[in-house]
Structure 1
Amino acid sequence: MLQTTIALILFLAPLAYSPGPGNMVFAAMGARLGLRATMRANLGYHAATWIVTLAVGLGFSALIDMAPTAFSALRLAGVAYVAWLAWTFLQAGLSGHGRDAVGIGAIGGALLLVFNPKAYVIIALMFSQFLAAFPMPGVSTVIWIATVFALNNFIAFLLWTVVGDQILARFRSPAHARWLNSVFAVILGAVAVWMFFAGQIGV
């Protein structure tokens, strides 16, 4: 079991620690709000990750196959939510608000995961590759894989949030804060565009 778990972590490492859309969202929030203010969102995101991973592992992925329209609606909701986050960053940049802004909280963090259909695809892929590789592929194994996946992602997002927080430490003046908020608004806008077109071309 230990060897399979190590193989699972190695499989997840490039997906979790590379600069993907989810990491960029939390790096942006870390830069705008700081590590402490984003912690509830991070916990909410990964609590939802654990629950969704359990659901997929126990057969929820079959529902996705049977309801492609709902899957597309979920994708568009995710695009809209990230675009809304980009708008709040842009407004902060225009108004001059910086680190005093309020974070999105645990529920907002959970919505980021729920509205990210690509997460369902990655989770389904993970189970297709690793569930049968464990000695006893049953409910306990699904719980174990979900826990490893959620904890690994939590650590990765935490590191990216720290990176964002350290970026802000170099831009303390209001002028720099406005500039940084505007930059991250553009980044999040680009993430929303990527999510939209990636879903269109099926990658």
Structure 2
Amino acid sequence: MALMTIPLIIFLFPLAYSPGPGNMFFAANGARFGFKSTLKANIGYHIATFIVTYLLGIGFGVGVSYSPTLMLIIRYVGVLYVVYIAWGLIRAGITKRNQSAKHASFIDGVVLLVLNPKAYIIIALMFSQFQPSTIDPQFYFIIGWISAVFTLNNMIAFFFWTVLGDKIVGLFRDKTKAHILNFILGSMLLVVAAWMAYN
């Protein structure tokens, strides 16, 4: 198992740490509300990640992975969701960590994963390289192990982006700078949405 894990992590590293809907979502929320406020959404995202990854790995999600129509629907619903998040950031005012502002919830994390076409593409690519070739007594364990490594690696990447967002916020406390930060983060999400739409 260890012989497979190291190449798997090397394969996943650039995919997990590159800017995408998940990373930018958590960086933006880390900047706006702080690291702790993102934990529920992070847990929701990664519970969904493990479940979806495992189901795709055992073949339940083959239709999602290979149906152009279904993938197209997921892609554009995901694009709209990311644009919605970006627009909310661009319109946001000064960054304040208070309870009156809406924090990302557990459900937000789940929805972000389910509507994230980048996640499906990465999962499909991963299993095209690392899925066991035969179904034997070890098959389901190996799929579970791959899913766990993928989920943990992804969670660490999200923590990195969230902490980065959390640290940046100290530089943007006054109203003008807060608007600049929110505009930058929102614009980054719009770029991600454009990438999702056209790739």
Residue aligned with 2:59, SS: helix
- Name 2:86's counterpart in structure 1: 86
Task: For 2:180 and 2:65, locate their aligned partners in 1 and report how far apart those are by CA, in whole Å.
Answer: 43
8 Å CA contact retained: 2:29, 2:104: no
Question: How far 1:48 sits from its partner (Å)?
Answer: 0.8
Q: Are 2:71 and 1:71 aligned?
A: yes
Question: How far 1:137 sits from its partner (Å)?
Answer: 5.0
Task: For 1:97 and 1:168, locate their aligned partners in 2 and report how far apart those are by CA, in whole Å.
Answer: 8
Question: How far 1:130 sits from its partner (Å)?
Answer: 1.1
Aligned residue pair count: 196
8 Å CA contact retained: 2:65, 2:124: no
Q: Structure 1: any 5+ residue segments left out of the alignment?
A: 199-203
Q: How well do the aligned residues superpose, as a CA RMSD in angstroms?
A: 2.0
- Name 2:164's counterpart in structure 1: 163
Task: For 1:79 and 1:154, locate their aligned partners in 2 and report how far apart those are by CA, in whole Å.
Answer: 22
1:27-79 per-position Cα deviation (integer Å, ceiling 9, x unaligned): 11111111011111111111111011011001034212564322211111100
8 Å CA contact retained: 2:65, 2:120: no
Q: Are 2:28 and 1:51 aligned?
A: no
Q: Which structure's residues are more often helix, by fraction?
A: 1
Q: Structure 2: any 5+ residue segments left out of the alignment?
A: none
- For 1:99, which of 86, 97, 101 is the aligned residue? 97
Structure 2 counterparts to residues 123-202 of structure 1, below 5 A: 123-132=123-132, 138-198=139-199
TM-score normalized by the length of structure 1:
0.88
> Structure 1 vs Structure 2: percent identity of aligned residues?
49
8 Å CA contact retained: 1:28, 1:184: yes
Task: For 2:65 and 2:11, locate their aligned partners in 1 and report how far apart those are by CA, in whole Å.
Answer: 24
